[in-house]
């Protein structure tokens, strides 16, 4: 049978159709932003705050449909905001101050995201992955994992989940834990099955493994007080605003039944909802054994990398009072460069690292801008007024759901906690009849699992999103599905359990 060849007119029509679709996708974020700019400013909100929100929503729409790379969308939003900062970013009082240099302050805001510690920690995680790849230490670990658990894709999913669970109680940064430790190892697994990034073969197994890894990181971040940095911030806010002390054990007990259910079912849920094409392969484990024999003994660079990675993990666990996790990661990168584990070309040629660095840094600036212009404070105030007079239990549920869903507006769990957590606590405390102990525990334990909803929702998200195994449409779709599952489980399992226990 002769292969079907598309005629030139048909090819031209197909290309024209694709170009039209691209133009529509390109115009859509602009249209959304312009329509919001034309909407009357809500009462109680400054015009410049509403205009900033319109630009932010336009950027989010652009990130969802991605007519251009995410970094370009984010950079465009930052540049537009900085150029029109008089109408989008700064208050009339600031502009009226003769000492206030608008152009200078606009530029400082535009590049503020590049100084964010999480952004640099993400970049460091990519460099760790480069070290694993170049020395073949990551391949060695992946082959060992495949040797014992690689017959079934599902067992690999559970292995990744339990690896994160073991590290979570001792690593107060899920970016360091999942992005810096788990990801560099599992990034070596898909190629063993012929699954490549940014390729249709990604669905063979790579997409499934990456989704399981980021989902596991979100669950364990909620399970332990010490597994996520914003958890500690939330603890301090609850103490200062409500006067309620939450111990490590109380936190763990509050989330334990839900956490165990999610950890045991999540790899299976992902297996059903985002199934890998390769489900069973008896040949690959046998092949892995022969490949391990070919690798031979550990090389000098592999040993050095192992020492550096273990050192970083120890600093992330025990030395956060003396060295910022991001700085610990950069220290390890410098050591890898000085010892020859990596060279400077390895750094400069890592396109995914630089792309993610630029994309996430601009998004951090835009998300922080929502709080700067007063939009978040206004949102909290309006929410509190709407809930006056309702049943306290209904009000508590609405506040928790709103807190969860509003994470779409934030590129960092820390920023979300800082901006909205105090407002939600204050609103809840003003409503008679709310069980504040349970409400505080529900709010605190939601911080980890809410990170699943977007490709920028928590520290490791951009790393897995940038891996090439999770296309944009898949990430948003799965984020919505798993976010809904996590929220429903929190309300239907976590809430009754906490009411019974506390």
DSSP characters over 437-477: HHHHHHHHHHHHHGGGGSTTSSTTHHHHHTTSSS-HHHHHH
The closest of 343, 277, 341 to 307, measured between CA atoms, is 341
How much of the chain, in percent, has pLDDT values that exceed 90?
47
Rounded mean pLDDT, 252-277: 96
Distances (CA, A) of 236 to 131, 171, 426, 434: 37, 19, 14, 20
- Neighbour tally for 105: CB within 10 Å: 15
The dihedral over CA atoms of 344, 350, 351, 352, expressed in degrees to the nearest 10, equals -140
pLDDT bracket for residue 9 (50, 70, 90): low
User: What's the mean pLDDT when you consider all of the chain?
Assistant: 87
How confident is the model at residue 197, as a pLDDT? 94
Distance CA 132, CA 139 (A): 7
The secondary structure element, H or E, covering residue 286 is helix 283-295
Q: Is the pLDDT of residue 17 over 70?
A: no
- Neighbour tally for 287: CB within 10 Å: 15
Residue-wise pLDDT tens digits, 28-61: 899 999 999 999 999 889 999 999 999 988 988 8
- The encoded tokens of residue 18 equal 């694709």
Q: Which of 149-163, 242-256, 309-323, 446-460 has the lowest mean pLDDT?
A: 309-323
Q: Decide if 244 contacts 440 (C-beta within 8 A).
A: yes
How confident is the model at residue 14, as a pLDDT? 59
pTM of the model: 0.75
How confident is the model at residue 70, as a pLDDT? 81
Q: Decide if 355 contacts 122 (C-beta within 8 A).
A: no
How confident is the model at residue 132, as a pLDDT? 81
How confident is the model at residue 251, as a pLDDT? 93
- The encoded tokens of residue 353 equal 């690292």
Rounded mean pLDDT, 352-379: 83
Q: Decide if 490 contacts 497 (C-beta within 8 A).
A: no
Rounded mean pLDDT, 71-85: 93
Distance CA 341, CA 131 (A): 7
How confident is the model at residue 463, as a pLDDT? 93
How confident is the model at residue 125, as a pLDDT? 81
Q: Decide if 29 contacts 61 (C-beta within 8 A).
A: yes
pLDDT bracket for residue 139 (50, 70, 90): confident
Q: Decide if 317 contacts 170 (C-beta within 8 A).
A: yes
pLDDT bracket for residue 10 (50, 70, 90): low
Distance CA 425, CA 439 (A): 8
Higher pLDDT, 141 or 267: 267
pLDDT bracket for residue 260 (50, 70, 90): very high
Three-state DSSP class for residue 152: strand
Q: Is the pLDDT of residue 124 over 60?
A: yes
pLDDT bracket for residue 254 (50, 70, 90): very high
How confident is the model at residue 3, as a pLDDT? 47
pLDDT bracket for residue 1 (50, 70, 90): very low
Distance CA 77, CA 32 (A): 13
Q: Which of 66-80, 86-100, 114-128 has the lowest mean pLDDT?
A: 114-128
Q: Is 275 exposed, middle or buried (CB count within 10 Å of its CB: 0-12, 13-18, 19+)?
A: middle
Distance CA 55, CA 110 (A): 14
Distances (CA, A) of 67 to 19, 60, 359, 365: 11, 12, 14, 21
């Amino acid at each position: 049978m002769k292969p079907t060849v598309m005629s030139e007119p048909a090819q031209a029509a197909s290309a024209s159709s694709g170009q039209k679709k691209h133009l529509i996708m390109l115009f859509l974020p602009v249209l959304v932003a312009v329509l919001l700019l034309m909407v009357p400013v809500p009462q109680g909100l400054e015009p410049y705050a509403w205009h900033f929100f319109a630009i932010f929503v336009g950027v989010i729409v652009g990130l969802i449909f991605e007519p251009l790379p995410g970094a370009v969308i984010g950079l465009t939003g930052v540049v537009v905001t900085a150029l029109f900062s008089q109408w989008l970013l700064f208050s009339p009082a600031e502009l009226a101050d003769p000492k206030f240099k608008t152009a200078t302050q606009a530029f400082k805001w535009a590049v503020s995201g590049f100084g964010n510690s999480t952004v640099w920690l993400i970049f460091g995680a990519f460099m760790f992955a480069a070290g694993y790849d170049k020395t073949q230490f990551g391949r060695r670990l992946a082959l060992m994992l495949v040797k014992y658990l690689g017959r079934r894709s599902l067992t690999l999913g559970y292995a990744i989940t339990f690896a994160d669970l073991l590290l979570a109680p001792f690593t107060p940064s899920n970016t360091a834990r999942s992005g810096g430790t788990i990801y560099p190892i599992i990034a070596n697994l898909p190629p063993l099955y012929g699954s490549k990034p940014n390729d249709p073969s990604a669905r063979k197994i790579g997409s499934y493994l990456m989704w399981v890894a980021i989902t596991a990181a979100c669950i364990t971040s909620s399970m332990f007080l010490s597994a996520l940095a914003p958890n500690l911030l939330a603890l301090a806010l609850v103490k200062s605003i409500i006067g309620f002390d939450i111990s490590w054990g109380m936190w763990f007990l509050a989330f334990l039944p839900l956490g165990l259910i999610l950890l045991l079912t999540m790899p299976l849920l992902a297996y059903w909802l985002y199934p890998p094409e390769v489900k069973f392969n008896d040949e690959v484990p046998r092949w892995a054994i022969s490949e391990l024999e070919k690798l031979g003994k550990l090389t000098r660079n592999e040993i050095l990398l192992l020492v550096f990675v273990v050192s970083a993990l120890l600093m992330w666990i025990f030395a956060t009072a003396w060295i910022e996790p991001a700085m610990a990661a950069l220290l390890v990168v410098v050591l890898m460069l000085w010892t020859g584990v990596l060279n400077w070309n390895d750094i400069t040629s890592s396109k995914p690292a630089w792309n993610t660095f630029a994309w996430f840094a601009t998004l951090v600036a835009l998300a922080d801008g929502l709080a700067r212009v007063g939009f978040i404070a206004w949102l909290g105030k309006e929410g509190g007024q709407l809930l006056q007079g309702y049943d306290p239990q209904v009000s508590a549920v609405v506040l928790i759901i709103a807190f969860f869903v509003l994470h779409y507006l934030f590129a960092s769990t820390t920023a979300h906690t800082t901006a909205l957590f105090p407002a939600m606590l204050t609103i809840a405390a003003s409503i008679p009849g709310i069980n504040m102990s349970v409400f505080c525990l529900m709010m605190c334990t939601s911080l980890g699992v809410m990170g699943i909803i977007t490709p920028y929702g928590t520290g490791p998200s951009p790393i897995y999103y940038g891996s090439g195994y999770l296309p944009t449409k898949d990430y948003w779709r799965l984020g919505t599905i798993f976010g809904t599952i996590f929220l429903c489980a929190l309300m239907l399992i976590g809430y009754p359990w906490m009411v019974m226990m506390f």
